[in-house]
Homo-oligomer: A and B are copies of this chain.
């Protein structure tokens, strides 16, 4: 039996043991994990160094190596994050709906764990702990499948988690790591319908696209963000500039940073060159339509591909439009349904934009950078769902739960 199938079977069985655990037991187990990681620091850092050395040999970029890298401070940060999860309200057991029927049936819709959650992710070993603790807090069993570049670190982290769970009321196998990081094991996970209730990819567009295309298990699509800001005719100059610079520059590599700017023609004629200059002063390469290029000769001609691009870096595509309707149409055509913002003093235009733009988060006069589980006050983030089923936008703990109808009767039969 392959590692994936064997661990899938164990996860399914373990998920049934998890339906009985209490909030207290879960929080105690999480505290033990935080403690154990600190205690096992040395072992974890030794294994992490092996990954870093292998990565260097393979010629991984500095930024990827930095993502893989652990040190004392980062491990302490991981442990601190676990205590934040402990402090979160446990959603399991909440009554979502109560229906009392005339025939005496009492129907309660209760929040329950999903069961077995698969997480497939790239590079960062902190995701190993993050995913494990969030799924444990919601009473699930989890199967982790990290990337080969963090293999030794991930094995070490899960070894430490297991040590902690062995001293807890939770079954150790509630957290399992697929150690074989070959393509085959990813493929097996995609089709593990018998044991996996959902698979969540965390990583770049390629990973997510592969999962969506190949998985037969239910998937929660996360992450890709070709986000836009539309500067409407009546936008205040300073507000527009500040929001655009924030959304593009505050952290260009993340999914809620903007990749594309749409500007009303009138506004552009008045204030466009100032804004363009500020972007260029900050090192942003502009890809633009003809109107923009007339004013900004250093701008490169935008192709069809640019309108669809998630640069994740210091580039931006810019288009001048004639109306809010044109902006909405462009966003619905090229956007990835993540985060979109309009800057305007015109309330009717703002309402139109908020209503008709098809995205998880739509903003009026604010930066798209706020689309984030912590910013929304969820205290945690499993990812940002860009699909429309189950969860949309920043996913907190509730996204890792399902529901179940519990019906109590006294002999009722159906007529």
Contact = CB atoms under 8 A, between A and B. Distances in A.
Given A20-B356, A242-B413, A407 B115 contact: no
A390 B389 contact: yes
Contacts of A407: 361-364, 366, 370
A162 to B, nearest CB: 24
Interface stretch (A57-65, A213-221, A286-294): A213-221
Instruction: Indicate how many identical chains form the complex.
Output: 2
A71 interface: no
A411 B360 contact: no
A239 B413 CA distance: 9
Interface residues of A, number: 69
Interface stretch (A123-131, A171-179, A397-405): A397-405
Given A99-B377, A193-B212, A402-B388, A370 B242 contact: no
Contacts of A107: 376
Contacts of A263: none
Contact of A105 (B99, B355, B366, B415): B366
A405 B361 contact: yes
Given A390-B390, A393-B405, A409-B364, A370 B414 contact: yes
B114 A389 contact: yes
A218 B387 contact: yes
Interface in A362-377: 362-367, 369-371, 375-377
B413 A354 contact: no
Q: Taking chain A's interface residues, is the majority helix, strand, or loop, or is none over half, making it mixed?
A: mixed
A125 B101 CA distance: 31
Interface in A332-389: 332, 350, 354-356, 358-367, 369-371, 375-377, 387-389
Contacts of A389: 114, 197-198, 218, 220, 389-390, 402
Nearest to A399: B389
Contacts of A114: 388-389
A239 B198 CA distance: 38
B332 A362 contact: no
A371 B412 CA distance: 13
A303 interface: no
A250 interface: yes
Nearest to A362: B406
Given A105-B370, A390-B390, A358 B414 contact: no
9 contacts: A101-B375, A101-B377, A114-B388, A243-B411, A364-B407, A365-B412, A367-B412, A367-B414, A388-B402
